[in-house]
Structure 1
Amino acid sequence: MTISQHVISSISPVEIGARYPRPVGRNAFRGHHGTGPTETAYIVSTSRGATGWGLPLGPGDPGALIGRNLAELISPSIGVVAPEALFLDYPLHDLAARILDVPVHVMLGAAGSPQVRCYSGGIYFDDLDDGLPVIAKNLAQDHASGFRDFKLKIGRGYRWMAPDAGLDRDIEVTRLTRSLYPDAGILVDANDGYSINTLVSYLEAVADCNLYWLEEPFAERWEDLEFLRKHPAVPARIADGEFEPNVDRIIRFGEAGLIDVALMDVIGHGLTAWRRTLPGLPMKASPHAWGLPLKTLYAAHLAAGLGNIDTIEGVPGNTLGTVDNGYTLTDGLLTLPDRPGFGIDLAVQKNC
């Protein structure tokens, strides 16, 4: 069956939620992240009884799509082709792949492996509330759930501690993680909360920790990135482009060898945009996925479908309102199920 045999018959909202395994604390800029957000997704149904669902990219007018032929809205080989339907980027990809009876990553081209390296993105500033031992506890909890690599938030001296004390704590947490997990990939993320001088002090203090990457150390400036790239203590990979990115500028940084990994958000940039961007990207990518565990699964399909992604951000926890979806995380590898669409079914279709 082809998607051209389907007409959009209904689009309805559904409330889904995320629940983290523990309350998540602060980062350099933001306060406590809580136990997981609630978001509105959309279910898209067709005249022939097919359904797909997913998170929207933003606001849109569902009513304008009712009665439209699905082939007018999305091309399996390109993505969403109707601008007015782009807000349903993920639901429409899910729907088209279900109709074609293939996983989304296969519809994208299966250029990568269906086993995707996945790190824990859940190590925040919980030590500010519960003391340094909680970091070891959180690392152990994420390790037990299948993660083998960890991203550490740094930048405690930007808002929450005196600058010198915050830097010392960032160093202490990094060295603690390396001592507990000598084989782990350690990624660090300052959320633009470092100055160039503070960053140099940090990198020199943890030079023997073999960081996997350095993420968003400061707001992107060409001169600062050039200086950083020449510093002997800088990690092999610099990752940036999450916060309000100018995508063309991020690409220019990549072409100049100043950024190694592009981080545009999996929802903020969108699946159709990633399909255009990723194949010609002059560096690796790792779509930002924090917030909902569902975003991690979307990023996994991008990695398996388009390639050029070495690791993705894992959001520890569960997506409430969905049933067992067949994804498994073992020894740091997230394995995608061989199910149509994104392979995730709703347990209860509760309208908002």
Structure 2
Amino acid sequence: MTLSQHVISSITTAEVGARYLRPVGRNSFRGDHGTGAVETAYVVTTSQGATGWGLALGPGDPAALIGRNLAELIEPSIGVIDAGALFLDYPLHDLAARVLDVPVHVLIGAAGAPSVCAYSGGIYFDDLDSGLPVIARNLAQDHAFGFRDFKLKIGRGYRWMPHDAGLERDIVVTRQTRELYPDAEILVDANDGYSMNTLIAYLEAVADVRLYWLEEPLAERWEDLEYLRDHPARPARIADGEFDPNVGHILRLAAAGLIDVALMDVVGHGLTAWRRTMPDLPIKASPHAWGLPLKTLYAAHLAAGLGNVDIIEGVPGHTTGTVDDGYTLADGVLTLADRPGFGIDLAT
């Protein structure tokens, strides 16, 4: 059956969310992240009884799409082609792939493998409330869940601790993680909470840790990134572009060799936009996915469909409001379900 045989007959909503493995604490600038949030998803149904669903990119007018032909809203080779329907980017990709009986990653190109490395993005500043030993417990919990690589939040001295004490704690946590997991890839994320002097002091202190990447060390300032690029303590990869990105600026930084991994959010940027951006991207991508485990699954389809992604952000926890999705996480590798669409069904 083709997309042109389907007319949008209804658009409703459902609640989905996250249930983290544990309460998640602070990062360099934001307070406790809690146990997981609830989000509104949109459910799109056609005249032929086909249904797709997903998170919205932002506000939109569902009523304006009732009675529209599906082929007028999404083109499988491009993505959503009607500006008024773009807020339903993920529901429409799910719907189109289900109608065509293929997984989303096949619909968008199958340029990567249907198994992708995923790191735990859940190691926050829980030590500030529960003491330093909690970091080892959280790492062990995420390892037992299936992760083998870890991203550590750093920047405790920005808001929560005296500067020198916060920097020292960042160093201790980083070195402790390497000692506990000698084979892990270790990523660190300052959420723009470091000055250049603090950043260099940190990097020099952990130079032998072999960081996989440094994320959001500073705001995306060209001169600072030039200085960092040429510094002997620079890690192998600089990742940036998550927070309120100017995508054109990110592309220019990438072309100049000032960043190595682009992080635009998987939902904030959107799947159609990622399909447009990826061919012009001269560096690797790893769409930001923190918040909902569902976003990790979206990122996995993006990686498997568009390629150019070596590792994605994992959220230690479960998606609420859905039933078994068939995805597996084992030894740090997330394997996609071989099901139409995103392969995830809402609980009834």
TM-score between both structures, scaled by the size of structure 2: 1.00
**Secondary structure of 1:202's aligned partner:** helix
Query: Secondary structure of the equivalent of 2:60?
Result: coil
* Residue identity opposite 1:242 in structure 2: E
1:16 aligns with 16
Per the alignment, residue 228 of structure 1 pairs with 228
Distance in 1 (alpha carbons) for counterparts of 2:222 and 2:95: 42
Using the alignment, how far apart are the partners of 1:23 and 1:267 within structure 2? 23
Alignment-derived partner of residue 301 in structure 1: 301
Aligned equivalent of 2:265: 265
Q: Which residue does 1:210 correspond to in 2?
A: 210
1:17-60: CA deviations, max 9, x gaps?
Answer: 21001000000010000000000000000000000000000000
Aligned partner of residue 36 in structure 1, secondary structure: coil
Pairing 1:134–2:134 present: yes
Q: Among the aligned pairs, what percent are the same residue? A: 81
Alignment partner, residue 275 of structure 1: 275
Deviations 1:207-265 (A, max 9, x none): 00000000000111111101101111111100000011000000000000000000000
Structure 1 residues 31-70: aligned runs within 5 Å: 31-70=31-70
Give the 3-state SS of the residue equivalent to 2:208 in structure 1: helix
Consecutive unaligned residues in structure 1, runs of 5 or more: none
State the partner residue of 2:149: 149
Give the structure 2 partner of residue 247 of structure 1. Answer: 247
How far apart in 2 are the matches of 1:254 and 1:202? Answer: 24
Note the C-alpha offset of 1:280: 2.0
SS in 2 for 1:25: coil
**What is the match of residue 74 of structure 1?**
74
Give the aligned CA root-mean-square deviation in angstroms: 0.4
- Residue 292 of structure 2 aligns with which residue? 292
How far apart in 1 are the matches of 2:67 and 2:138? 49
**Partner SS, residue 122 of structure 2:** strand
* Equivalent position amino acid for 2:158 in 1: Y
Q: Report the equivalent of 1:104.
A: 104
* Secondary structure of the corresponding residue to residue 198 of structure 1: helix
Helix, strand or coil: the match of 2:322? coil
Letter in 2 for 1:71: A
2:322 match: 322
| Structure 2 residue 313 is the aligned partner of structure 1 residue 340 | no
The amino acid of 2:208's aligned partner reads D
Instruction: Name stretches of at least 5 consecutive residues in structure 2 with no aligned partner.
Output: none
C-alpha displacement of 1:16: 1.1
Work out the CA distance in 1 between the residues paired with 2:18 and 2:209. 33
Question: SS at the partner of 2:36?
Answer: coil
TM-score norm. by structure 1 comes to: 0.98
Distance in 1 between the 2:146 and 2:36 partners?
20
Tell me how far apart the structure 2 counterparts of residues 13 and 347 of structure 1 sit (CA, whole Å).
13
Say which SS state the counterpart of residue 312 (structure 1) adopts: strand
CA distance in 1, matches of 2:86, 2:17: 23
**SS of corresponding position for 1:277:** helix
- 1:165-184 equivalences under 5 Å are 165-184=165-184
Q: Which amino acid aligns with 1:155?
A: G
